[in-house]
Amino acid sequence: MIKRELLAQVIPLNQKHLHKLLQENIEEYYNTDRTHQGINCGTPIPSVTYIPTAIEDTKLEATPVLNGLYHT
């Protein structure tokens, strides 16, 4: 998973950079936003539940993860 989803896209500069990439991937993407088939397409850390709104009142914003490799 890490090799295909992260390291095939980003070349770490050194061990410190690799550690930062792995930490950000796990804490800010893999466990919070990426769905997992093994847990019924949920995430290990549940997402925030938002109050239902009308589509006219809704504004979506993309939040970059891993310097824009993924967005939430």
Which helix (H) or strand (E) segment is 23 a member of? helix 15-25
48 within 8 A of 37, measured Cβ to Cβ: no
- Dihedral, 4, 23, 38, 70 alpha carbons, nearest 10: -60
Encode pLDDT of 42-52 as tens digits: 777 877 777 88
For the chain, what's the residue count?
72
> What tokens appear for 18 in the block?
């690799």
Encode pLDDT of 23-71 as tens digits: 988 887 877 777 776 777 777 787 777 788 899 988 889 989 888 888 8
SS3 call for 70: strand
pLDDT of residue 34: 77
Indicate the pTM of the whole model: 0.61
d(CA 43, CA 33): 6
